[in-house]
Amino acid sequence: MAFPDIKPASREYSSGDWPIKRFDSQSGAEVRILYGSRRVGAKLVLGYVNIADSSAQSFLTDYNSQYGTLRTFTLPASVFAGWSGSRGNIDAPPGTLWRYESEPRVQSVYRGLSNVQVTLVAVA
């Protein structure tokens, strides 16, 4: 099953970082060592507001099909709707894919309508 093809009402992206180890020397200088070639840990928080329960259910179904936080996947273009910049800048960094960081949160707000919040993290 693919990630639900639904446009979010809100989207929050954070870039993550490269695998870096930091050391503080006796002189007070900070030494940083790069351990990898891929930026990891990018995070995407998607908010869906007042969507039909059937659409909210599709997030739960996909979460089950991905075995929760186990499997990785790509995202449909609808997730990046409204972004006028380059999609690559807010998608999973090169060499990484998205997985669920935690279970989707579904909040029933009215009969037949729900709010959903999904948090994804990019991993190699």
Partner 1 sequence: MAFYTGRSGSLVYANKPVAKIRDWSLDTTVELLSTNTIDSAVNTFTPGTKGATGSATLMYYRLQSGEAASFTQFTALLARIMKGGAITEADRVFLELNVGGGGSDDIKFYAYITNAQVSVSTGELSVVPIQFTMDGDFSEVIA
Binding site for partner 1 (CB under 8 A): 7-11, 49-51, 81-82, 109-110, 113
| Residue 31: CB minimum distance to partner 1, A | 41
Query: How many Cα atoms occupy the beta-carbon half-sphere of 24 within 13 Å?
Result: 1
Beta bridge partners of 32: 22
| Residue 113: CB minimum distance to partner 1, A | 7
* CB-based contact 15:42 (threshold 8 Å): yes
Pair of tokens at residue 94: 């090169």
Q: Which is nearer to partner 1, 19 or 47 (CB)?
A: 47
| Residue 7: CB minimum distance to partner 1, A | 4
